[in-house]
Amino acid sequence: MQHHPGLPKSHALSPQARSVLACLRQPGHPPLTAQELGRRLPRKNRKGLQSALNELERAGLIRKAGGGHSYLVAKGKKNYIGRLSLNPRGFGFVQCDELPGSDVMIPARHIGSALHGDLVSISLLPSTKETPDQGTRLAGRINHIQERADHRITGILRAEGDHWWLMPSPNRFGLPAIRLSGNQQDAAQQEIATPVEGAWAMCRIVEWTTAGEGSPVGLLTRVFPPASEGRSPYFLIEARNGLPGPFPEELEREAGRLAKMADSSADEAARVDLRKIRTITIDPTDAGDFDDAISLEVLPDGNWLLGVHIADVSHFVQPGSGLDREACARGNSVYLPGKMIPMLPKVLCQDLLSLRPHEDRRTISVLLEYTPPPNAVLRGRTFELTLIRSAGRLTYEQVEGFLKGAKPLPSPTLEPDLNRLADLAGDLRAQRMAHGAVDLDVPELEVVVDPAFEPLDVRSNPADTSHRLIEEMMLAANKAVADEFQAHNVPCLFRVHDAPPLDRLMRLNREVAELGLTTRRLRHRSDLQRLIDRYAGTPVENTLRFHVLRAMSRACYSPEVRAHYGLAESQYLHFTSPIRRYADLLVHRALRHWKGWPHGQVQEPDILNQAALHLTDLEGKAQEAEREATRLLTMQYLDRRHRAGQLPPMEAVIRTVHPDGVAVELLEYMLNASIHPAELSRCGYKYMRKLRCYQSRKGGDSLFTGGTIQVQIKRVDFEARELWVRPAIRGR
């Protein structure tokens, strides 16, 4: 198997292996030779067939027959392989390729020494009753740990006799103290600082023990400098998620050399000159990198020509260069409140490649011809190497104000174009929703920080017309490239989103019922969207969207062409953000190869599969870091206002009701919190088991799933990342 130098190896089944396994599992098949399998497989899965067979044989999923010339599914297999996702309450879930449509619940007593993210081998339990939500779910036990995840544990150093210990912090999963190995030779070679009592540090676990049976052993990998030495305000979050630090000096110099060469006109003759076309960028107020611009022309025949112009990163960042290897290793840019960790050096992403107004920029343009709305019809698509000059930089706030009639644009000449763009976006969105797409947008929480990264304000930014305008333009461009690649069998990374597993839809039906919402049985996309539309604008809307999102499969990258469930598209990919997503850069190179432009490249299936797994993993780590940073700063903001007596009662929707308390979501801050049963008792509430609610002893008032309640902060537990609240009582 070929291996890209910037990609880690992975033990997950490749898409080709899954396709071969599905073919062999079809009933009535005799053992099949590789040639026979090749004829039965879709054309796109025939490449790398022997590698897929070897992969399945190594995993014990198939065996040879007929003198070693044919293959069949191995019988009697009792173990299944998957990644463990731990829940702070102690239990976990494993999703296995061989059990499509099912998450296997692992009770706490069957987890052993496995940790969050480990690749584990499990067997199924005969009973499915050991589940926390009392649903019918497969349950299992972990028999073997196939591969340890990259466990980066942060905490505080403590000395005890001749031993150093790391006290895990934050400690969501209840890890015990970790004894640091006396053999620090590896650490010394990495120039790890000397342990200091009370210092923040990070270790890698090298010896594991079963929960409750001793302390794991760790190897110290990093001692963080004190705050006085200018460490990152997000140092723990960045370290645990493996986020990169500053770029090496040689790469900064390489980027600087590219910036100096940017004025070269060597390739301008090969580009379509669109500098006289009015193009605009629409971005957040504090954006530093503008990687997309849009335009709209009315053609002589009355049709509309939409232009989506994307920064031509592939012109500057060449395959195999130092910048390319670093971008691949980073995978994507990460956006923490007040801080960006870029995929490319800032001299590129915020200067040379950024589509700043009134400056010539190289782009790759997707040009889409539509009949005018309503009911716009796509008449043609073309792809060009172009030169553009942005006529104006607009913010979402400016565009929203203009579209609502509240405020004119800074440049009146842009207003006709923007009106047409808004009309087209609205029409395309209406067509998508009618075609079966599911609107899974939830409001984004924005944390405003000062220069010291102290939270100044927390506000919710719901999806509005200006954001949806850009979203529709980008969706149209991405879809156009995906359709082109599918039509001509261009190998690349597609963005896939599988249909939700059946057991998750069953759980969603139960959760909706527990919220007190009435609906038909949820089985299809249309059922989900109908449910979301029905409760739009109600207090339970965000909670409902959360439950629907949790039922969804995770979108990921794949070299295999599969449908995108949420968008209701047969194929889809990411093209419009090569400054901040490496997957998009690979797609740009594939387009160059298909069009015969310079610097094009398509990858072999094995490398594409490695890239898909690698980039999906990095995307997950970036999202986890962004969520954790936002949650932490929001908790700090609420804690500070609470201590200062500046926090009024907050409205919360009740998500679950149990004998051990009530879980709520703070509507304004989209933050989960808990009410302890002792606090409920003090406020006069008693749990009614048959009714599954808390009822006031004074009568009338009841706390039930889906209801709302006014709450106040009780305690903020930064160590466990938990927020405790209490019912708001007048005069208290």
Whether 290 maps to a domain, the answer reads yes
Query: How confident is the model over 212-253, as pLDDT tens digits?
Result: 566 888 999 999 988 767 678 899 999 989 999 999 999 999
Q: Average pLDDT in the 246-264 region? A: 88
d(Cα 466, Cα 399) in Å, to the nearest integer?
A: 6
Of 73, 88, 105, the one marking the end of a domain is: 73
Share of the chain above pLDDT 70, in %: 89
Which of the two residues, 98 and 427, has the higher pLDDT score?
A: 427
CA 543, CA 548: separation in Å to the nearest integer?
9
- 16 compared with 474, residue with greater pLDDT: 474
For residue 563, the model assigns a pLDDT of 95
**93-130, pLDDT tens digit by residue?**
898 866 655 678 899 899 988 888 888 989 888 755 44
647 and 712 in contact (C-beta within 8 Å)? yes
pLDDT higher than threshold 90 for residue 564: yes
CA atoms within 13 A on the CB side of 138: 20
The pLDDT, as a whole number, for residue 178 is 92
Look at residue 265 in the predicted model and tell me its pLDDT: 64
406 belongs to a structural domain: yes
Considering the domain architecture, whether residues 511 and 525 belong to the same structural domain is answered as yes
Query: Are 304 and 428 contained in the same domain?
Result: yes
pLDDT value for 561:
94
Domain count, the chain: 6
CA distance 243 to 335: 11
Alpha-carbon span 255 to 249, nearest angstrom: 10
Q: List pLDDT tens digits, range 305-335.
A: 999 999 999 999 999 999 999 999 999 999 9
Name the pLDDT band for 10 (thresholds 50, 70, 90).
very low
**Structure confidence at residue 135 (pLDDT):** 43
Tell me if residue 504 falls in helix, strand or coil: helix
638 within a domain of the structure (yes/no): no
Q: Is 400 among the domain residues?
A: yes
Q: Do 84 and 212 lie in a common domain? A: no
Clarify whether residues 302 and 377 are in a common domain: yes
Q: Supply the pLDDT for residue 183.
A: 61
Under the banding of pLDDT at 50, 70 and 90, the label for residue 1 is very low
- 581-590, pLDDT tens digit by residue? 999 999 999 9
Using one digit for the tens of pLDDT, what is the confidence trace for 602-642?
Answer: 999 999 999 999 999 999 999 999 999 999 999 999 999 99
Contact between residue 586 and residue 574 where contact means Cβ atoms under 8 Å apart:
no
Question: Which of 111, 132, 147 delimits the end of a domain?
Answer: 147
Residue 29: per-residue pLDDT: 67
**Residue 473 counted as domain residue:** yes
Burial of 730 (0-12, 13-18, 19+ CB in 10 A): exposed
Per-residue pLDDT tens digits for 130-176: 444 444 568 899 988 888 887 889 999 999 988 899 999 988 777 88
Q: Which two tokens stand for residue 146?
A: 């196939």
Residue 657 is part of which domain span? 648-727
Pairing of strands 378-395, 272-273: parallel
41, part of any domain: yes
CATH code assigned at 686 = 2.40.50.140
For residue 85, name the pLDDT band (cuts at 50, 70, 90). Answer: confident
Where b means 16+ CB within 10 Å and e means fewer, 255-281 reads: beebeeeeeeeeeeeebeebeebbbbb
Is residue 371 domain-shared with residue 315, that is, in the same domain?
A: yes
Are both 359 and 467 inside the same structural domain? yes
Q: What is the spatial distance between Cα 25 and Cα 43, in angstroms, rounded to a whole number?
A: 19
Residue that has been written with the tokens 């609610």 in this structure:
693
Helices (H), 340-414: 346-347, 396-403
pLDDT band of 514, cuts 50, 70, 90:
confident
pLDDT score, position 171: 84
Mean pLDDT of the chain: 88
Report which secondary-structure segment, H or E, holds 57: helix 49-58
Answer yes or no: do 441 and 507 share one domain.
no
Q: 537 — alpha (psi -120 to 50), left (phi > 0) or beta?
A: left
pLDDT at 356 over 80: yes
Q: What is the pLDDT of residue 264?
A: 58
Domain boundary among 24, 39, 73: 73
> pLDDT for 517-549, tens place per residue?
877 788 889 999 999 999 998 888 888 888 899
pLDDT band at 598 (very low <50, low <70, confident <90, very high): very high
Asked whether residue 680 is domain-assigned, the answer is yes
Q: Is residue 640 part of a domain?
A: no
Is 176 in the same domain as 233?
yes
- Give the pLDDT score at 9: 45
324 with 271, same domain: the answer is: yes
Contact 492, 574 (CB under 8 A): no
Report the C-alpha gap between 160 and 158 in whole angstroms.
7
Integer Cα distance of 729 and 701 in angstroms: 13
The span from the CA of 498 to the CA of 565, in Å, is 6
Is 426:607 a contact under the CB 8 Å cutoff? Answer: no
pLDDT at 187: 45
| Per-residue pLDDT at 193 | 66
Minimal CA–CA distance to 394: which of 474, 466, 298, 313?
A: 466
Regarding whether 340 and 313 lie in a shared domain, the answer is yes
CB 242 within 8 A of CB 351: no
Q: Is the domain of 121 the same as that of 219?
A: no
Same-domain check for residues 405 and 300: yes
